[in-house]
Amino acid sequence: MKLHRLLTPLSCILAMVACGTTPPLGTGTNTYTGDSTGQRQEFVGDRDLAAKFVLLDIKREVRDGRLRVQFDLKNTTSGDLPIEWAVKWTDASGFTIDTNPHWTPVIVTGGGLHSIQIVGPTPQAAGFQLQFRKPTPIR
Amino acid sequence: MNRLALLSLTLAASCSSIRYDDPGRVETLTIDYGSTDLQSLAGQMVESLIAAPQLNYLDNSGKGDDKRVIVYTGSVENRTSEHIDTEGITDKIQTALLKSGKFRFVADKAGQAQIEEEIRFQTGRVREDMLRQMGKQLGADVILYGTLRSIEKKKGSSLESGGTRKVDVYYQFVLKCVNIDTAEILWQEEEELRKTERTGIFGRT
């Protein structure tokens, strides 16, 4: 009986808290920035993801006045793993170019490579931000 | 007492919430065609069109110094088993290509109908020196059109599958760019998507 007295208000509070808060949006994002000269920075928001996936062989060139970037995403684990990636573009001054970026889901086989090639959306695109995160789908 | 505890726990599970979300987030609410499929298919086509060197310039009579390719956006035929508004795909592609600055576009079917209506409206109402008329439009060099297909396979739950029902959907999106003068296909690209759904006894796995 005493346990019931304790559980009832607790579950009522839980019910109110559950209605008042929103579920978490997802995990951290790992961002890799670069430009046509090859300068690169990494911002690791999810260490676990950074250990499981590494970026290899980032190639960049300016062809027909547009920046092209190609990179290989390597799964360092032995099992197949899903990941989401997105790209944002910036001009020479670092301002973001409006492209409505979206997350693209991919599955990389265990120990395998997934090659991605992207092209600057406008001739002004001089830098890029590659973003990676664990899948956080709306479901 | 017991009932009250049960009721409050039920309340916790059944309450609803609304929030704004990232439009670019991956959506897997159902296996049907969704926003992520639209973004992926259109995005990959845009990348390919922007990168295509054969579509950098096209010299045609009356174009002047601006030799960028003038595009008429045709339609994407929906040959899937779902009801899909394929204009959403063409609109997304056209928006990104316009922003890229690589192509010039003439109004599509809906735009031409609006133009006709406006010109009819102007007749007799608008000052003569400001009257717009037919016969001055740019001539498109190429038409962009394509097809969206799907193959759907279902496998019902059985002892062999451990009571799990499986659905597999494959989408194939083919887009073509054809020279209006010569009917030559200048560019063609194919994009594929595969989605699978597994539903167990207790819901999706």
Cα–Cα distances (Å) from B85 to A84, B34, B176, in that order, read 26, 11, 19
Residue among B26, B35, B89, B93 with most chain A CBs within 10 A, to mutate: B26
Q: What is the ipTM of this complex?
A: 0.85
- Comparing CB atoms, the residue among B40, B43, B100 nearest residue A122 is B100
**Portion 73-132 of B in contact with A at CB < 8 A:** 96, 99-101
Taking 70 as the pLDDT cut, the residues of chain B under it are 1-14
The residues, any chain, with a CB within 8 Å of residue B186's CB and separated by 6 or more, are B54, B55, B142, B177, B178, B179
Cα B135 from Cα B128, distance rounded (Å) = 17
| Confidence band of A20 (pLDDT split at 50, 70, 90) | very low
Tell me the chain A residues in contact with residue B21 when contact means C-beta distances shorter than 8 Å: 25, 138
What pTM was estimated for this model as a whole?
0.88
pLDDT digits (tens, 9 = 90+) for B103-154: 999 999 999 999 999 999 999 999 999 999 999 999 999 999 999 999 999 9
Chain A: residue nearest B15 by CA?
Answer: A19
